[in-house]
Structure 1
C-alpha cells in the first residue's frame, strides 16, 4: 500500500520538477489517520528548552552546568531551578511529557507546539553548536511522536528563535535549517506540505479533517531580531516574510472557501515590539480580514502569561518603534519584561470604555502561553476546550455582508499587495465572535509549584493554576444531552468538582467563552481597575507568583 508514495518520493528526488505543484496552492490528499472520537480539547505547549549539560547542585551563574561557585545559593534541583536563568533538565521535560501521556492523551484532539526545543546560548564556556541544536530538536520530536502521534493525535510544531544557530538568525530558504527540520518533523508535516516547508519553514495541516486546520508560521522571517531578512519591505516580493504572508493569504482564502476554521500558531508573538513594522501591519491586516475564519492566535517565546489585541487602528496609525525598543525576551531580568503588565493595562485603557461603543470587527486576540522551562518562572502548559456541538458557520459570499477596508498608511510602508482595498470577512455569527461549532470555550493552565523542594524520590506534581471559565460552566450535564465538561472532573481540584460551587480564586475571569467580545470585555474590566482582585490575579498569573500556603 506504500508503493505509490515511495515511487513518488523517488521520482521527485531524481526529477524535482516532474510533479511540481504551485507552492501557494494546498494539495488535497486523503487523510489516512485512524478516526478518533473528538474530545473538544487540545494542548498548547511551548518553550521546553531541554539542556543536556544541566547538573544537579550547580550554580545559576554557570547556567546550572558547574558546581562553582560552591557558595552560590540557591542550587539547581533535580527537576530544575525555578525563577532562574537555567534551562530544563531532561528530568523535567520527561516528567512533563510523561504526565501528559498518562493523564491527558485520552482527553485531547491535537497539540500546538510553539518552538524553542533547544537550550539557550547562555554559557560562554560551553557554547551551543548546530549539531547540538538539531540533536535536541530530534530528541524532543521523537518524544512527541511517542506520546501523541502514536495515538493518532496530530502535533503542529513551530520553529523557535533558539532552534537555529546563530540564535535569532535565519536566512531565506530553502536552506540547511528548513532541510534539517523537514527531516526532524517528517512525521508531523503532511506530505503535500513538504515543498512549501522546505522553502520557508511553515505549513498548514488539517487537525480535524475538512473542519479545522492549524497553520504553523515561521516567525523568524517576521522577527525584528533576525537581521538576515528584509522585514516584509514594500515591493520586495522575494523577501521571505512577504512570501510567507502571500502564502498565508492563499491558505486562508482556500480554507474559507471550504467553510473551515483555522488556528494560527508560531513562536514569536505578532506585536509591534517583536515584528518588523511592515510584517506586523501585514499580519494584522490578514488577521482582521479573515476574522470569520481564524479561531485564534497561539504563541510562545515571551514566557509570561498574557493576551493582547491586533487592532484595525494600527493599520491607520502605523505603529513604528525605535530600534532600541527591541526586547531580548531570553533575559529574565529585562526591564521591558517587568513592565509588560503596565504596558498591557495601558493598551486596555485605550479600548472603548463599553461594549456598545466597540466594533468587534476591528479586533483579533493573541494568546501567549508561559513555558515549560522554569526560566524565569515555573513550568506550565495549557489545555484549551472548544465547542464540538452546534451548527457550522457558513461564510457569507454576499458582498453586502462584508465590509471593505483599506490600509490607511500604505505609501512607502507596506507591500503593495496589502495596500489594495480588500473585503473584510467578519461576521457576528462566526465562531470567533459567538459560541457555536469550533468556538474556543476556555482553557485550564497547569503548573509545577514547589519545584525547588522536589528531589529524585519526591517528584513535583502538576496542579491547576487557574481557569478562564466561570465555575458554573465547569458542569454541563443536561437532561437531554450526555454529560460533558470542558475540563474533566478528575483534573479539577476537589473544590471545583462540586456542581454547587459558585466561585473560586482559580476562576477569576469568568469568561463564558474565548470569543473576541469575551476578551475585550475582560480587557475593559482590567482597564477600569474597579475589580482590584482581578488585576492582582492577572499580574500573579503573568509572572507566576506562587501564593504562600
Structure 2
C-alpha cells in the first residue's frame, strides 16, 4: 500500500518527535545498579493511543474522520481529536500527549507501564489497514517512548494490543505458532525495552519480565492475545492441550512468579486485554485467577487497558469453584455499554454490592483498567501511580525475606454461597477435564503482603489527568491536561515535614490544582474516594461504598469517571 506524503512525513518525524494517611516517605538508595538513580515513588500507566495517519480535521465523523465535510456542525472532526466518537487520534494529539509527559512528568517517575494499541482501528473499509502501516506506527511510537523515557534511564514496559496485530493474523495460524513474523517484528521494535535474557522467550510468545528496580521490584508484560476469546486460532487454555499457546504462557507466568517470590521481590502484572469472563476464554480465565490468588503475596496489582473505560473489578476465589446449578453469566466486555440494563456500570454495582462485609482478603485480587489516550469514545487520559519507597519499610521487607511465610492450604468450596461438593462434580465427564478440577496448589494467605498492608512498594494511590477542552482546542490554544481526580486522602498530599525533611510527596505540588497545594485543605472535588492506599482491603471498602444506596453521590462520581469527563 502506498502511503500519502503526510504519512511518510509522520514516519520520519514521529519516530523522533511523537507519539492518605500513609506514613511520610524517605526514599532509600538503590543498590546493585551501575548507575544509581533516585527513586521518586511514582510510575506512569498509559494505554491505547491509536494514532491515525489518515485523520483529517473538519472531516465527517461518519467516515472515521478521514474524508468529506460534515453537514452537521456537531459531527465535524476536531483539530486535536473528536471526543465521544469512534474516530482515532490525530498525530497532533499523540504528539501533544507524549510531549506533555516529556515536559512535565519524565523527571518525576521511575518506570512506565504501557499497555498497547498503538495503531488505528480497522474501521474504514475504504482504507483497510496493512501490516506495514501497523508496524510503522508502532515503531514510531516506540521511538518516541525511547527518546522521552528510556534515554533517561527510565524502564518502559510495553504490551501487545489486539490492534497492534493485523486482524487476519488473529484468524490464521501465523499467530498460533511462534516465533513468527509478528513476534520477530516486535522484538525489533521493542529492542530497547526487552531485557536481552528474555529476547528468545519474547520471540516465542511476545511476553517477558523486567526488573524495574533491580532485585526488588519487577513488571511482567503479558501477551493477552493468547487468552483473548476473539482469537479463534488458539485453544483457549484447554486442559487437554498442554501445548496451547495460552497454557504455555500461563506455565511461564507461574515460573516467573515463583522466581520473583524466591528472590524476595514484588511484581506488577500488565497487559492489554483485562482478565474477565467476557474477555478471556473460560479456561484461561480460571488459570489466571488461580495464579493471581496463589501469588497475592508478591503481586502488587494488575494493570490493563483495551476497554477505554476507567474502572476496577475483582478476581475472586469463588471464580474457581463449580456451580452446575447456576447458568454462567458471561458478559462481552468488548461490546458492553457503560449505561443501560446489563451495562458495565450496572454489572459492577451488582458485583460490588455482593461483596461480604468482612471479606477474606486472600480470596480477592484487584484489576485496574485505565482510560485511553484516544478520545474514542471519551476524553484522553493517563495515570500516575505512587508507591511506598520508605526506608523503614525497606528494612521490614528485608526481615521478611529472611523468614518467608508459607501460604496456608486451600479450603475448597470457600465462597459466598456456602460449601460446594467440588470433589463429586469433578468425577463427572462434564468437569473432570477442566482446570477447576486440577488446581490444587495452596492460595496465599500472608496478611503482611504489600498488596494487603502498607509497606515497601505498596501502591498508595494515583492521580488521573485528562484533557477536558479537547473539542475546543485550536492551532493557537492546544488542549490542556488537567487533574480529573485523586484516590488519596487529603492529608496524604502533604507529608509532615515536607520537602525540607526529604519526604516524598505522592503528587508533586506543581501538578496539583491551586486549592490542594497548601496543607490544611478540607473537602475537595478532586478527592472523591479518600482511599488510605491501594491495598486489596481499601479497594473492597471503596467498592462497597460505591454500591451503598446511601452513597449515591459517590456512585454518581464513579459513573462519571468511567466515561472520563462524560455524563
Match of residue 476 from structure 1 = 495
Give the whole-Å Cα distance in 1 for the aligned partners of 2:546 and 2:328.
Answer: 28
Q: 1:533 is matched with which residue?
A: 553
Correspondence for 1:157: 158
Matches within 5 A, 1:334-353: 339-352=343-356
- TM-score w.r.t. the length of structure 1 is 0.89
Conserved? CA contact 1:182–1:198, under 8 Å: yes
Structure 1 position 513 matched with structure 2 position 533: yes
- CA change 1:318–1:55 in 2 (3 A) is farther
The equivalent residue for 2:419 is none
What SS does the corresponding residue of 1:156 show, helix, strand or coil? strand
In 1, distance between residues paired with 2:253 and 2:132?
A: 31
Partners of 2:344 and 2:475 in 1: how far apart? 36
8 Å CA contact 1:273, 1:321 repeated in 2: no
Q: Can you give the 5+ residue segments of structure 1 that lack an aligned partner in the other structure?
A: 1-29
CA gap of 1:388–1:324, structure 2 versus 1, over 3 A, is: closer
Counterpart in the other structure of 1:36: 37
How far is 1:166 from its partner? Answer: 1.1
| Residue number in structure 2 paired with 1:328 | 334
Contact preservation (8 Å) 2:294, 2:443: yes
* Pairing partner for 2:290 from 281, 285, 288: 285
Q: Quote how far apart the aligned CAs of 1:502 are.
A: 2.0
Name the CA distance, whole Å, in 2 between partners of 1:531 and 1:363.
23
Give the counterpart of 1:311 among 312, 316, 323.
316
TM-score normalised over the length of structure 2: 0.86
Q: Judge conservation of contact 1:384–1:441 (CA < 8 Å) in 2.
A: yes
- 1:130-279 to structure 2, matched below 5 A, reads 130-166=131-167, 168-169=170-171, 170-279=175-284
Query: 1:396-454: CA deviations, max 9, x gaps?
Result: 5454x5233568576345348x8242122331111000100000000000000011100
Q: How does 1:120-139 map to 2 (within 5 A)?
A: 120-139=121-140
The 2-side partners of 1:377 and 1:132 are apart by 25
CA–CA separation in structure 2 for the residues paired with 1:475 and 1:216: 33
Query: Partner residue of 1:97?
Result: 98
- Specify the alignment match of 1:26 in structure 2: none
Alignment pair present for 1:404 and 2:425: no
User: What secondary structure is seen at the aligned counterpart in 2 of 1:48?
Assistant: coil
Is it true that 1:67 corresponds to 2:68 in the alignment?
yes
In structure 2, relative to structure 1, the CA distance for the partners of 1:405 and 1:149 (3 Å cut) is farther
Q: Is the 8 A contact 1:435 1:515 kept in 2?
A: yes
**Contact 2:40–2:109 (8 Å) recurs in 1:** yes
1:475 and 1:137, CA in 2 relative to 1: closer, same or farther beyond 3 A?
Answer: same
Secondary structure of 2:75's partner? coil
Structure 2 distance, partners of 1:533, 1:430, is: 33
C-alpha root-mean-square deviation of aligned residues, in Å? 2.3
Tell me whether 1:434 sits opposite 2:453 in the alignment. yes
Partner residue in 1 for 2:85:
84
| Structure-1 residue corresponding to 2:516 | 496
Q: Distance in 2 between matches of 1:247 and 1:339?
A: 35
Shift, 1:174, TM fit: 1.6
Q: How many residues align?
A: 511
Question: Contact conserved, 1:215 with 1:263, CA < 8 A, in 2?
Answer: yes
Q: How far 1:526 moved relative to its partner?
A: 1.2
Deviation at 1:481, TM superposition (A): 4.3
